[in-house]
């Protein structure tokens, strides 16, 4: 699904991924759920994720991993954004406490 840049997209996507997670876990409780397709090309992926979290507090923490597509020309920018996604709390982006690597997930 493609999300156009509109003010409501992060909130709508947060609702969608939470509904999908509930459905997946209802069928297979041990399934790992990945927030997919976060694109970082001409958009600010960290701001989008922060807006999702503001709309649905805990949405990022409910995911086992975040699928990130870093389409950037600068490797340092890519590495910096990946580091920001992996931080346990990134208050400057408004993203706090999300598990970003399924290996760190405690169930």
Give pLDDT tens digits for 4-44: 667 778 899 999 999 999 999 999 999 999 888 777 777 77
Q: Do 82 and 38 meet the contact criterion of CB atoms below 8 Å apart? A: no
Residue 54, pLDDT > 80, answer yes
Nearest alpha-carbon partner for 20 in 32, 10, 6, 8: 32
pLDDT of residue 25: 95
Lowest mean pLDDT among 6-20, 46-60, 85-99: 85-99
Strands 65-69 and 34-39, sheet pairing = parallel
Vertex 96, ends 92 and 59: CA angle to 5°? 125
């Amino acid at each position: 699904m493609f999300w156009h840049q509109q003010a409501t997209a992060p909130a709508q996507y947060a609702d969608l991924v939470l509904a999908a997670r509930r459905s997946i876990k209802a069928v297979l409780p041990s399934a790992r759920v990945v927030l997919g397709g976060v694109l970082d090309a001409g958009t600010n992926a960290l701001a989008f994720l922060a807006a999702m979290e503001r709309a649905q507090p805990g949405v990022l923490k409910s995911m086992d991993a975040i699928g990130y597509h870093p389409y950037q020309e600068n490797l340092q920018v890519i590495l910096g954004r990946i580091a920001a996604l992996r931080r346990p709390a990134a208050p400057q982006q408004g993203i706090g406490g999300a598990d970003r690597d399924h290996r760190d997930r405690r169930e």
